[in-house]
Amino acid sequence: MLPNVDPAPHRHFLIHKPYGCLSQFVTQFSGEAKKTMLGQFYDFPAGTMSIGRLDADSEGLLLLTTDGKVSEHIRSRKIEKEYYAQVDGLIDDEALARMQAGVEIGIHNEKYQTSPCRAFRLDPAPGFAPRSKKIRDDRHGPTSWVSITLTEGKFRQVRKMTAAVGFPTLRLVRVRVGSLHLGALQVGEVMEVAGFEG
């Protein structure tokens, strides 16, 4: 009879996902072959998965885990996700109020009404390092930053919300998931943590 062996404990990580990096470890389509993947930043253990992907154009806090049950909890509507968006133009109170109340966006060719959220201007702007791909020049007009906190996570939702109120997103950085903050984590830096709390 084989002795009982405790399974290896689950491991959990935070990464500051860079612009242009896919939130995955292997290519799924032929066009992804030259893309940057998460495994290029750290020797993650087998079975590590990202929780709540960020698209290639988005940056910031990404959680990774070997525990699928934790992944389900974090992706639920119980957990807040906060984003800082740099938008085209000087966002006004009317646009913020519309996003706070919920706006209509398109999801997979269907209309979707977003849930109420928190949204406010960031002044001064957050001090992020310049993005690897330059944002357009100031000569094309002013930009502003807004904080948006959601409990839902539809495909490219923040970008669609700011566009719906007339202020397209130029740069998007996720800064918080639940009680976990991006903090001083540098672009591409990985930190192992004991676990994720809601």
In the annotation, is 123 catalytic?
no
The whole-angstrom separation of Cα 61 and Cα 82 is: 10
- Token code pair at residue 171: 């740069």
Distance of CA 82 to the CA centre of its chain: 8
The whole-angstrom separation of Cα 174 and Cα 122 is: 14
- Identified catalytic residue from 55, 67, 93, 137: 55
Write out the catalytic residue numbers.
55
